[in-house]
Amino acid sequence: MEPELTVRLDRYSNAAHRRGSLLRLAAWMAVSRLFFATPLPYPSAWKRLLLRCFGAKVGAGVVLKQRLTIKYPWNLRLGDHVWIGEGVWIDNLVHVSAGSHSCISQGAMLLCGNHNYSSPTFDLMQGEIHLEQGVWIGARAVLCPQTTCERHSVVTVGSVAHGRLEAWTIYRGNPAVPVRRRKLQQP
């Protein structure tokens, strides 16, 4: 008979998680509430400037809609002409990057952290997320830690993706699986 083990949240430690100074974090929380998490449609140019002030690398022409949650802008890299839709949640405990001409649609979640459910102390696990050029993340899709979406891949509405997604491939479902190749038409 196996000994009974229990989860011990009182022994949890997230010492590996570095969020930055308390002053920087407090300042970002205030700016985020005023200009990003709000339903007011502040111009993307203002939001780009604010992200850069907090250490994000933000390319030209980035479009940032309302009700955004970006945990730590200093862990964010956005290429040129990236679109981020309403209600997107970027839980970037570690680095998140989106290549030029990528789109993260409304309500999508990019989650860089999870917990080890097999550990009695529920240890925090972190992994980066990278979107290469031309990637489209559909509405309400979820990307898990340690996900890379290669060039022009697509994660469809409501799908849950993890790992390496091949270039020019459309993924659907939970877990997201390849369903067909992505083909662009000539304008």
Q: Is the pTM of this model over 0.75?
A: yes
* 3-class DSSP assignment, residue 48: helix
Instruction: Name the DSSP letter for residue 66.
Output: S
What average pLDDT does the segment 5-23 reach?
83
Asked if 116 and 125 touch (Cβ cutoff 8 Å), the reply is: yes
* CA distances from residue 28 to 44, 51, 82, 95, 167 in whole angstroms, order as listed: 17, 9, 21, 17, 34
Q: How far apart are CA 76 and CA 150, in angstroms?
A: 18
42-74 pLDDT, tens digit each: 999 999 999 999 999 999 999 999 999 999 999
Superfamily grouping for domain 22-181 = Hexapeptide repeat proteins (2.160.10.10)
pLDDT band at 2 (very low <50, low <70, confident <90, very high): low
* CA distances from residue 2 to 5, 7, 122, 177 in whole angstroms, order as listed: 9, 15, 20, 37
76-125 pLDDT, tens digit each: 999 999 999 999 999 999 999 999 999 999 999 999 999 988 888 888 99
Give the count of beta carbons closer than 10 Å to the beta carbon of residue 151.
Answer: 15
Total count of residues recorded for the chain: 187
Percent of residues, the chain, with pLDDT higher than 70? 98
* CA distances from residue 59 to 28, 77, 146, 150, 183 in whole angstroms, order as listed: 20, 8, 23, 19, 26
Domain range annotation of the chain: 22-181
